[in-house]
Structure 1
């Protein structure tokens, strides 16, 4: 438990059928030098042992019906169930790299003006080479105690509860709810801190359709947050070619080119095809499209319907 002079902390995890990944996350949490005061799991219809594993590790379970799910809504439900002064968000398919992750992520809140802190992300042996290149680009080795842009990521992030109470996460966005929230926090005068020493491994073991799907829904959200953003087909093709070339050079330098010869263009094609499709999207997102965005094939809303309630 935390000492009396430290803010209390609640970890909020959003999950759907994450029994494969959760043991690594919970094992990493148990090793932390600073232990959380509470763990909240927001489950959106798991049919595996996600809930049982989480209950065995003392997590409070909150359920959201699959048809009611959005990233922002599930996060708001988890935050409402949390009791900590600092709300810490991690994906169910991440795990801390070392035992100092939580202490380093929370430390910036010693400054009253800091309302959001986020940490570095990397991958492991399952991570595609191009995804690792993106993580290196987005999450550098150097910390920034006063970041002036709204970039952050709720796979490894913490916010001050009092600030969340002033402004909840956007429940209509198909992604990037973290960026939208951070943008408003900056406008309200809050500070954002990036900690490169609060590192997690983020595992996206995905194939072409799901990578494309991920970038498509994030591009739709990006257009709604920043209405002036565009991506034409020619620009998408040029970005695809440029990034494949850069990835090939980086893979060759690391003597990993042959093993990634096919995966690199496949990943980048899914990334830029999905992004281009997302930026072309107009109007509201249909129920069927939301189903495709949030749930893998074979999961039926009706079969997994759960009441939105809390159980300890």
Structure 2
């Protein structure tokens, strides 16, 4: 039987107010030649999120117990409920930049039936620091410079031998993505504590499917983390990239120290282009230096987490504590 909708948009939430209002306003105003549905799956909000969503008759609300949440598990539950050919995924703090966002994601997938997943571009929120704005532009420009549709078959030998190429092929972000539901039915998200989106992308790439980049499908999404939160997020990233992908993001204390010195110096000496990103203050440079130092220390600790006392590792990890809850 044909799906009722061309696409469903899924947004997991927990205490997502007040920003969720702007996100849903943009999602509900998408201009498409076909019907789509919007599903919010909430895991125990206490800030009025569920009451707000329940008042929107055009949005379907699924409520789950907080202790059942899992990054992949919860998304699987919402995807299973979607009556659609494609499923787009956002986070509650990723706001589509225009009314063509959803049509652009679907259009990218419809180029070829072998495209299993699509990811869109992120751009920084207007209040973000010039460093954050430049970082995001640089990150997504790297995908814009290469082929927008990729698969393992582009270069099998390179995929086996070049970790950087493998990382590019399995990059995928649930902050702004779309998948073909018929592929998901055979390859659902893994129930893991981190990087369920990139693990899924690696699985579909290795299964022979393609992945597409849709630069026109853009969302506002960025964070200027405090140094300690940056360190803890980097710890989780490094620990779990080693666990799930075999990547060691930091090799030795000396290389980590050298990277800290280099990045701190660059924060003060190599500011982003002020004509493009706005004036850069001394306070912003100082924060950038501390953020970059925290990132490198977090990557080092995560790469060597097995040497840490278990209580330290649990305190450092944000996602591990959430997964245990």
Instruction: Normalising by structure 1, report the TM-score.
Output: 0.82
1:31 is aligned to 29
Say if 2:263 and 2:293, in contact at 8 Å, map to a contact too: no
Aligned counterparts of 2:48 and 2:74: Cα–Cα separation in 1:
19
Aligned counterparts of 1:291 and 1:242: Cα–Cα separation in 2:
24
Higher relative contact order (CA 8 A, sep 6+): 1
Q: Which runs of 5+ in 1 are unaligned?
A: 302-312
Alpha carbons of structure 1 residues 263 and 42: separation in structure 2 relative to 1, 3 Å: same
Counting matched residue pairs gives 293
Query: 1:122-141, aligned counterparts within 5 Å?
Result: 122-140=123-141
2:17 is aligned to 19
1:309 is aligned to none
Query: 1:150-229, aligned counterparts within 5 Å?
Result: 150-172=170-192, 174-204=193-223, 206-229=225-248
Say if 1:133 and 1:247, in contact at 8 Å, map to a contact too: no
Aligned counterparts of 1:202 and 1:258: Cα–Cα separation in 2:
24
Say if 1:126 and 1:205, in contact at 8 Å, map to a contact too: no
Q: Which runs of 5+ in 2 are unaligned?
A: 152-168
2:304 is aligned to 280
- Partner of 2:178: helix, strand, or coil? strand
Superposition RMSD on alpha carbons, in Å? Answer: 3.1
**Within the alignment, does 1:42 sit opposite 2:44 as a pair?**
no
User: In structure 2, which of residues 7, 10, 31 is the aligned counterpart of residue 9 of structure 1?
Assistant: 7
Aligned counterparts of 1:187 and 1:48: Cα–Cα separation in 2:
41
**Within the alignment, does 1:293 sit opposite 2:318 as a pair?**
yes
Q: Which structure has more helix as a fraction of its residues?
A: 2
- Partner of 1:211: helix, strand, or coil? helix
Structure (1 or 2) with the larger CA radius of gyration: 2
Say if 1:251 and 1:260, in contact at 8 Å, map to a contact too: no
Alpha carbons of structure 1 residues 135 and 252: separation in structure 2 relative to 1, 3 Å: closer
Query: 1:41-120, aligned counterparts within 5 Å?
Result: 41-57=40-56, 58-110=58-110, 111-120=112-121
- Partner of 1:47: helix, strand, or coil? coil
Moved more, 4-13 or 75-84: 4-13
Alpha carbons of structure 1 residues 264 and 167: separation in structure 2 relative to 1, 3 Å: same
2:149 is aligned to 146
Distance apart, 1:206 and its partner CA: 3.5
